[in-house]
Amino acid sequence: MADAIGLLRPRTVIGPSLRATGDWALRFDTFPHVRIGGLVRGTCWLILEGHEPVLLQEGDTFMLGNPPPYVLAGTLDASPRPAAAAWAGAEDGFVHIGPRSEDDLYLCVGHIAFDEGNAALLTDLLPPLVIVRAADPHGRRLAQLIDLLATEVGVAAAGGPLVQNHLAQILLVHMLRAHAGQTDRPTGWLSALNEDGIGAALRAVHADVAHSWNLQELADISHMSRSVFAHTFKSHVGVPPREYLIQWRMNLARDALARDTLTISELAQATGYRSESAFSTAFRRVVGSSPAHFRNQARQPAHSPTNEKGAEYV
């Protein structure tokens, strides 16, 4: 899991946190990748478009994968207003709604964005909504992380953004573990890592991507016959072993080319290809362009929107 998340180059923006009392409701627009948060105190409704309303309680955490528009509300009958306006008025890391009270709702939230080139590696596996209750097996650990994160947001201490970023990514990992454990028959590398045999094969591939892996070697690592391994791998991961290996190599190649860390010849060797031409052919087939063209495009200045005051963070 660490290999894949590292490859995604996560960028985290935390806060501001929400403290609210009375009848209130905020509507949030769709946002790419992942939003994550939890209730430090109080209760509120999470109303995700196309889903039944969910009551969040103290200690609960949630994760939204490429979420459609959604509403956070104190009551189901409150009329939602745009969240962007409320967030524009944040002060000292907090958005306040209603009279301030020690018993108000306290919600710590943030979002995690990934490099677009490989973002689908994770986001394609996520449902729109994952809820981990405080009483769930992972719930206590997640509640503790939310408390730590909320403390960092509320205190202007040296190194705060760095600590917030790392805590949010740890929170993401634990949410992914909880999601993998909640799903009856998940597919993809995320769930397969929890399987003794298939997980061992995946970890071996990730640890030595330059090796010329064949089906028999991976089956031996998984303690299965070739036919059983091939069937089980596709059942859990969603694609055959060879296709997964090629896709993983190309994910690594895209990342290296975008960061311009290796020559194309060095990259071919690092990803298990005997020649630069064989690597280039595979890369073009999967990515749709030559490695040189992909690298040149990645060198062009990016014109991405920046987070300004008033940007919607939740």
User: Does residue 310 form part of some domain?
Assistant: no
Q: How confident is the model at residue 282 (pLDDT cuts 50, 70, 90)?
A: very high
Q: Are residues 12 and 60 in the same domain?
A: yes
Lowest-pLDDT range of 179-193, 208-222, 261-275, 276-290? 179-193
Give the whole-angstrom CA distance, residue 166 versus residue 164: 6
* pLDDT tens for each residue of 2-13: 566 666 677 777
What pLDDT does 17 receive? Answer: 87
DSSP conformation class of 290 = -
* Domain of 202, in residue numbers: 190-299
Q: Residue 271 — φ and ψ, nearest 5°?
A: -110, 15
* pLDDT tens for each residue of 139-156: 888 888 888 888 777 666
Give the whole-angstrom CA distance, residue 312 versus residue 70: 13
Q: Are residues 236 and 289 in the same domain?
A: yes
Q: Are residues 142 and 225 in the same domain?
A: no
CATH for 291: 1.10.10.60
Q: How many domains does the chain have?
A: 2
pLDDT at 313 over 60: no
Q: How confident is the model at residue 311 (pLDDT cuts 50, 70, 90)?
A: very low
- The predicted model scores a pTM of 0.65
Q: How confident is the model at residue 312 (pLDDT cuts 50, 70, 90)?
A: very low
DSSP conformation class of 301 = P
User: Does residue 305 form part of some domain?
Assistant: no
What pLDDT does 236 receive? Answer: 80
Task: Decide: 143 and 38 in contact? Cβ < 8 Å.
Answer: yes
| pLDDT average, residue stretch 174-201 | 68
Q: How confident is the model at residue 271 (pLDDT cuts 50, 70, 90)?
A: very high
What pLDDT does 307 receive? Answer: 44
CATH for 162: 2.60.120.280
- DSSP track, 92-141: TTEEEESS--TTSEEEEEEEEE--TTTTHHHHTT--SEEEE-TTSTTHHH
Which residue, 246, 276, 314, is CA-closest to 44?
Answer: 314
User: Does residue 217 form part of some domain?
Assistant: yes
What pLDDT does 1 receive? Answer: 55
* pLDDT tens for each residue of 94-117: 899 988 887 788 888 888 877 776
What pLDDT does 302 receive? Answer: 53
What pLDDT does 89 receive? Answer: 86
User: Does residue 101 form part of some domain?
Assistant: yes
Q: Are residues 164 and 208 in the same domain?
A: no
Residue 16: is the preceding peptide bond cis (ω within 30°)?
A: yes
Q: How confident is the model at residue 80 (pLDDT cuts 50, 70, 90)?
A: very high
Q: Are residues 159 and 201 in the same domain?
A: no
The H-assigned helical ranges of 238-275 are 241-259, 264-270
User: Does residue 307 form part of some domain?
Assistant: no
Q: Are residues 43 and 67 in the same domain?
A: yes
Q: Are residues 142 and 220 in the same domain?
A: no
Q: Are residues 194 and 176 in the same domain?
A: no
Helix (H, G, I), strand (E, B) or coil at 54: strand
Q: Domain boundary residue among 152, 182, 212?
A: 182
Q: Domain boundary residue among 164, 182, 200?
A: 182
Q: Are residues 66 and 32 in the same domain?
A: yes
Q: Are residues 246 and 157 in the same domain?
A: no
What pLDDT does 305 receive? Answer: 41
User: Does residue 304 form part of some domain?
Assistant: no
Q: Mean pLDDT over all residues of the chain?
A: 82
Handedness of CA 136, 237, 252, 227 (dihedral sign): positive
User: Does residue 237 form part of some domain?
Assistant: yes
What pLDDT does 304 receive? Answer: 45
Tell me which amino acid residue 136 is: D
pLDDT at 281 over 90: yes
* pLDDT tens for each residue of 16-74: 889 999 899 999 888 778 888 899 899 999 998 888 999 999 999 998 888 788 999 99
